[in-house]
Structure 1
């Protein structure tokens, strides 16, 4: 079944999560579309997702497929909204039948951020002392940091950004690892003590970019979205998503990436790590940017040959248990 709409309406309904960051991102999308299409009326419809409601359980224990997207996708399929704005890293690589990734916008800095309690100001992730308590809810960040800094103590942290920062400032944690992009978008870029180098922590697939989902074949919406798409970010993130899809990983599997374009050449680095940080496999593929899907696929095969599948099989077995 292909979902389409033939409506010539000038009203466009935008679905979003209710979190502060989601609302900031969605207002940016609305304002950009309004600039390009002043004759249209863009309305925002905010929804609560499962991931917003469950704040006392580690993400990795909930089962993460569609955790922050399912309610928005139902809104699309039921034609309650015309497009949905996601942090692209939250959007599964396999979308429901009838829906598609209609647009990827320009990317903020995709790096992970070290945010420090005041007693450690001036430190970096490399210089934090043994036993310092670092908060993160991401298995990807956790696995990489355990690999590089096994002497640090890691503790799960949930809640919205303000809640996490309050826990940090109250001394529950010595440091947090968050996304540079989210802090910047919320006007909190001054809280970034260090943008963690990619040599230490490869970022999540799609991190820093916004993905806009819509119904397949909805030419009215797809024509509007063309105006705010960033081709470089699109090609890089499609390569990243191809790598993730081929390894069948969700956002709570320790898979990280880094990508960039020079001229017409797209370079993708990918990583798979064990949960305990004991094993970390990494490789890189470069090719013509038009081959972005193949780049991701080829990179997945390279890390598989190094032993990534055994690591992933063990992780999936733990999740099923």
Structure 2
């Protein structure tokens, strides 16, 4: 039983951080939660095989502070997806999401990700099995199209087919995916964004919860999208510039936290993880963007990246250095304003 708050209890609008392989680990998610209590956090995509055969603890464990948290699953076998969805509910996840958007060759070969948009009936069967297994929400993250299936009408058919199972929440990456010829990185950049397709989907299916994803980087852009859809999913910007999550707190009239308060809250967690045997570098790589766009940010990144921080004392020294850099800038501005 989930003893923590459910997704339904989070405050509208729905703002989430996208699942990103190698990035949205439990260490990043703990860090991200310090910026905003209302943002919904996603795991990396985890395949059903990894959970069933590769050790559930390794793939499902998370920190209680991460709630509300969604497990994103990769798979296309309805029974295996149902099994993993039930495990996620028992583990305490607030929601489970099916990946129908990843364009990488590796997942295509296992019939996972964006290639499933070509098989809406199979996706519907998967979602139906997942829903029957649990009481928590089951959602779908997909593209607006793939390869030769690029029309709005084809996307609408996909959504309608899956929605017939009772699924009501769709996260839509507003780009098509080119499965042959483009890398995953290129698929995040080359196909043009078609936000208007996602807006139209919400307009024509107002009973569905539609969340938009793709290329969204600022508070103002987020506000603009919320005029048309129910939620916004932020991707890489939330990783490289995590303070954006604090700025988004304005949507709930939250006071933005101080960056130095955030790193001080992070320090006990770092101590704990190091005591558990975690290499310091796998934690510090997630906090490099804390001071993005501020004086001293480059030296902060240099001090903590590439294994340069060998002890916790190195982190504390980097904190002192960036405080000094910001103070020097503040003093310079005051001096030249007077």
Is TM-score (shorter-chain normalized) higher than 0.5?
no
TM-score by length of 1: 0.27
Q: Give 1 or 2: higher strand fraction.
A: 1
Q: Give 1 or 2: higher helix fraction.
A: 2
TM-score by length of 2: 0.26
Larger relative contact order (Cα-Cα within 8 Å, sequence gap ≥ 6): 1
